[in-house]
Amino acid sequence: MPTALTDRAIAILGTLVGFDTTSRLSNLALIDWVEAYLADLGVAGRRIASPDGTKANLLASLGPAAPGGVILSGHTDVVPVDGQPWTSDPFVLTERDGRLYGRGSADMKGFIALALAAVPLFREGLKRPVHLAFSYDEEVGCFGAPDMIAVIARDLPRPALAIVGEPSLMRVVSGHKGAAFFRVVVTGREAHSSQPHLGTSANMAAAGLITALAALSDDLAARADPASPFEPKGTSLTIGRIDGGTATNILARRCEIVFDVRAEPGDDALAVLTPFRALVAGLDARLKARDPDCGATFEILADVPPMAPETDGAAEAFVRGLTGDNGPLRAVPYASEGGQFQGAGVSTVICGPGSIDQAHQPDEYLDVDQLRQGAAFMIRLAETLRAG
């Protein structure tokens, strides 16, 4: 049985990888295919569309309409391949030396393929349901999942737990940091660089903000709790992009700073940034006093909540029982939709095939053996839910 399910998962994974679902693009072609695949097996899918209708989540339930179900959560979008030195077509699944190469093979279409391959197992005899929850736009801020989670809370009997299939080598991950993304834009006025008194350099004005962010990053690192289960320990801040100016001899009209805060459970990214936001507001007032067309703005691009390790959590106990994982508590620095499910009151863990070390890389791959382990997991899940 595991071999047949693994083979079926590989075939499905090849189809899923073939859809370029980079977050900047629509995922509807993939959703169409999954919906048709489920319909052929007698399973109805429900779309929860994005506000503009160009993308969709897909929710499908198998088994009785009863509480205590298990959510299998996966995101359909992938990160870009632009500029990466791939040695094979990233959107054609290619097997070499026991590895399945392709964008999204590990992160995280492999888990979705396993869940879909297991649908025939979930169709009969379950005493507790399985809910397939496939989202859009996880990679750019977990924007799709909240609407789907709201539908689950409103329309389904209360699930017992959620398994988010991010790559974890099929081991249980109990917690993750949050991910909040921010943008500051400083607007100046262009002038010849030999006449700085006639304009305002956005770059020069932004320099103090950049210095403040760097100092805050150092301070957060110094305050990290040595007992933290995360690596790196503590809440972190990094500046991802600085873009300003047009030429050496022109005062910069605009400077943009994009940065992120990876907050541990118990920390709040916006609270961490309270002094910095006051600096931005002060700079905005000073620039406007000099020139009303100048200023500084602070924008929240995304704010993904952390997932806290649960004391005696139902999800962790259940999934450890399925995997036989008796290892230590694991916590990861990246974010997922796990914090959103947990925030809705659903006990949640991460467990999925593949390694996060492969995620977002050129020549991303998933070991076939990881799919085999995932297939065995799905079989045990079906058996457990049949037993009630």
Q: What CATH number is attached to the domain comprising 186?
A: 3.30.70.360
Q: How many domains does the chain have?
A: 2
Position 388 scores a pLDDT of: 82
List, in order, residues 6 or more apart from 112 with CB less than 8 Å away.
16, 34, 74, 76, 134, 165
161 shares its domain with 184: no
Choosing from 260, 289, 304, the residue where a domain stops is 304
Position 59 scores a pLDDT of: 98
207 shares its domain with 325: no
Active-site hit among 35, 107, 137, 138? 138
Cis peptide before 204 (omega within 30 of 0): no
296 shares its domain with 353: no
300 shares its domain with 319: no
**Which CATH number goes with the domain that contains 109?**
3.40.630.10
Active-site hit among 77, 139, 316, 364? 77
Position 220 scores a pLDDT of: 97
**Sign (positive/negative) of CA torsion 205, 208, 212, 214?**
positive
Choosing from 263, 282, 304, the residue where a domain stops is 304
124 a catalytic residue: no
168 shares its domain with 223: no
207 shares its domain with 155: no
26 shares its domain with 171: yes
Position 1 scores a pLDDT of: 60
140 shares its domain with 202: no
Secondary structure (H, E, C), the chain: CHHHHHHHHHHHHHHHHCCCCECCCCCHHHHHHHHHHHHHCCCCEEEEECCCCCCEEEEEEECCCCCCCEEEEEECCECCCCCCCCCCCCCCCEEECCEEECCCHHHHHHHHHHHHHCHHHHCCCCCCCEEEEEECCCCCCCCCHHHHHHHHHHHCCCCCEEEECCCCCCCCECEECCEEEEEEEEECECCECCCHHHCECHHHHHHHHHHHHHHHHHHHHHCCCCCCCCCCCCCEEEEEEEEECCCCCECCCEEEEEEEEECCCCCCHHHHCHHHHHHHHHHHHHHHHHCCCCEEEEEEEEEECCECCCCCCHHHHHHHHHHCCCCCCCEECCCCCHHHHHHCCCEEEECCCCCHHHCCCCCCEEEHHHHHHHHHHHHHHHHHHHHC
Position 344 scores a pLDDT of: 97
131 shares its domain with 251: no
273 shares its domain with 317: no
Choosing from 262, 282, 304, the residue where a domain stops is 304
Nearest Cα neighbor of 365 from 95, 159, 143 is: 95
206 shares its domain with 296: yes
Counting as low any pLDDT under 70, the low residues of the chain are 1
138 a catalytic residue: yes
The whole domain housing 247 covers 179-304
124 shares its domain with 195: no
